[in-house]
Structure 1
Amino acid sequence: MKRFWLGIAAVVAVSACGGDVFTETGTPVQPVEPTPTVPEAIAGNVTSVEYNQANQTLTVTGSQLDNTPFEAVYTRNAALDVPGYEAYTSQASSLDRHFTAFVQERDGVYAAVVGGGPQFNSVIMGSTYGRDGTFTAPDTTPAGSGLVSYGGNYVGVLNASGDGNDLLPVTPGTATEIRPTQTAEVTGLVFINADFADNAINGIVYDRVLADDPGSLTLTDLSLFPGTIDSNGAFNGEVRRGSTQTVGTYAGLFGGTDATAVAGALTASNHIDGSGGDALEYGVFVLAQCGTANADPICNQPRP
């Protein structure tokens, strides 16, 4: 497949802020502590999301042109699920932009990433995360070191066209210039170490592949370089390719008693060989702490 990369300069941008809502019932829940604001670089075009697990719907606010007004209800699309994340899609008609969203919630923290496929020389993309439950940090007294780990799955979207298998049909002969496309998706794995004694975090996103065309590009690891954790369990840091090339930022927060889960998001650009320097990616992760009931199998390591 020949992949179409849309120049980063053409990306549509809107102001993004906090105030995300993510509940199992769709009814807003007031967090015990204020949810930290998602940085604008991470949010992109996503202002907020509301997830109704019972009805299997996802309402996205702030993604321009996905519907009118600028709030759209995405419908469950299990055929596009990737490991660890539910997929939701929205396309109003055959010539309207197609949107794909991936979402997950665990122990009161959540994250969602949204990608509108390239159309009319622009893309609409972004991500969000938040917490609708409580948070306490792990024990850092002599009885506990405060050092914990998290592992699991990553999902991202690119400013490139995917396989298009979920697009509504168009009339034969419709000009390519006006046809919508479906966003390309990236899957991978994440491992994070957090030290609550030093309020530090670092990790890596690895085994990254294009979900619908795994052999077409070689996607390098993205290092989550050491960042800081604040008293509310929020964190941020640089995304690097290798040890020296800064390609973006990451941010997120911890949730649950003793920080049993973590949710976060990243954005990276100019990080994929073969994209002509135009690659732009938004991605999310929602992970369980090693040693908890929902821990990823990567946590099952030999103990000294």
Structure 2
Amino acid sequence: MKRFWLGLAATAALSACSGGNPFTTDTDTEVPESGIPEAIAGDLSGISYDPVAQTLTVRGISLDETPFEATYRRRPGMDRGGYEAYTAQDSSLDRHTTAYVRDINGTRAAVVVTGGQFEHYFGGAVYGRNGAFDPPPVQPTQNNGLVSYAGNYIGLLNGPGDGGDLLPVSPGTPGSVLPVEAGEVTGRVLINADFTDNVVNGVVFERSYVDAPGLVMNDLALKPTSIDPELGTFSGEVTINLQNRGTYGGIFGGADSDAVAGGLFASDHIDNVQNEEEFGIFVLPRCGTPGQDALCNQPNP
């Protein structure tokens, strides 16, 4: 998969190349090897995450640290909407990498993107769960198998961030060699699932490019797609105005599927911008469970 860096002016096409590694099984999250579309996994091979110790180890992202497997630094000041931030930068002239991760009772997702340097970047997203798929019970007198999940979204864009986590460089260092921090995108997500017909769909809305707040960010529709009745996984198209703009996928986890985790890759999805690419994740509690999002409390007409 090609990876290229979007300049601040966001107008010119850039040449690109990088190795797109398919996702491989991560024993910490027990994700089947075929469970994540390659478009979403990108360059990321897997993660190890300990929510108690707050440690994140990333595999497959090139040029983040010297080893293929790198342990990132916790950055609580960069946390967004329940997603924990981690970063890596080996030295002031090496690439900077940003990662976000969230876990709800063993259902988790992570997104990792390097900032731009020398016109290129690396990135990807993964998701998984502990344990087997446990669908919610179908109760014809109550929900007929219809379940909603709501909460926050975090994405990383191939555009510049605020640079606040970059290591300092010596005065007079040429701009051509400087690394850049990845741009952050926040938003909200609503997922509706039908566990009778095994269909899921949703939307990522109220999206904002944190580092360029004046830029209009379109909603990303998550086109209806099937739920694997054995694995509780799904994948489908990201659309804007019914036009394909990428791929999304996810997995239901926990008792009675009390959480859902997923990721997406989108491109050509911001008006008046060229060559933009975005990796993002969502980890959401099911409506009606402890910790449910305020969006779940909408009254019936």
TM-score in same-fold range (> 0.5): yes
Q: Label 1:211 to 1:3 Cα distance change in 2 as closer, same or farther (>3 A).
A: same
2:243 to 242, 245, 250: 245
1:3 to 8, 18, 21: 8
1:88 to 86, 89, 92: 86
* C-alpha displacement of 1:8: 7.0
Moved more, 67-76 or 5-14: 5-14
2:101, 2:66 → 1: CA distance?
Answer: 22
Q: Give secondary structure in 1 for the equivalent of 2:257.
A: coil
Amino acid at match of 1:3: L
Q: Does 1:284 align with 2:289?
A: no
* C-alpha displacement of 1:68: 1.4
Amino acid at match of 2:288: G
Q: How does 1:189-268 map to 2 (within 5 A)?
A: 189-215=188-214, 217-231=215-229, 232-242=231-241, 244-268=242-266
**Length, aligned pairs only:** 292
1:38, 1:98 → 2: CA distance?
Answer: 25
Amino acid at match of 2:22: A
Query: In the alignment, is the contact (CA less than 8 A) between 1:64 and 1:124 conserved in 2?
Result: yes
Query: In the alignment, is the contact (CA less than 8 A) between 1:18 and 1:37 conserved in 2?
Result: no
Query: In the alignment, is the contact (CA less than 8 A) between 1:22 and 1:110 conserved in 2?
Result: no
CA RMSD, Structure 1 to Structure 2 (Å): 1.8
2:25 to 19, 28, 31: 19
What are the Cα deviations for residues 166-202 of structure 1, in whole angstroms up to 9, with x where unaligned? 1001111111111000000100000010001111001
1:182, 1:196 → 2: CA distance?
Answer: 40
TM-score (norm 1): 0.91
What are the Cα deviations for residues 27-66 of structure 1, in whole angstroms up to 9, with x where unaligned? xxxx5x9575321110011100001223322100000011
1:7, 1:117 → 2: CA distance?
Answer: 17
Report % sequence identity: 50
User: Following superposition, which runs of at least 4 residues in structure 1 exceed 4 angstroms of deviation?
Assistant: 4-9, 33-36
Match of 2:293 in 1: 296
TM-score (norm 2): 0.92
Amino acid at match of 2:165: D
Query: In the alignment, is the contact (CA less than 8 A) between 1:186 and 1:211 conserved in 2?
Result: yes
Q: Give secondary structure in 2 for the equivalent of 1:67.
A: coil
Amino acid at match of 1:62: G
1:7, 1:129 → 2: CA distance?
Answer: 31
Q: Does 1:125 align with 2:123?
A: yes
Q: How does 1:38-53 map to 2 (within 5 A)?
A: 38-53=36-51
1:44, 1:7 → 2: CA distance?
Answer: 20
2:13, 2:55 → 1: CA distance?
Answer: 32
* C-alpha displacement of 1:301: 1.4
Q: Label 1:197 to 1:182 Cα distance change in 2 as closer, same or farther (>3 A).
A: same
Q: How does 1:53-64 map to 2 (within 5 A)?
A: 53-64=51-62
Query: In the alignment, is the contact (CA less than 8 A) between 1:20 and 1:129 conserved in 2?
Result: no
Query: In the alignment, is the contact (CA less than 8 A) between 1:4 and 1:161 conserved in 2?
Result: no
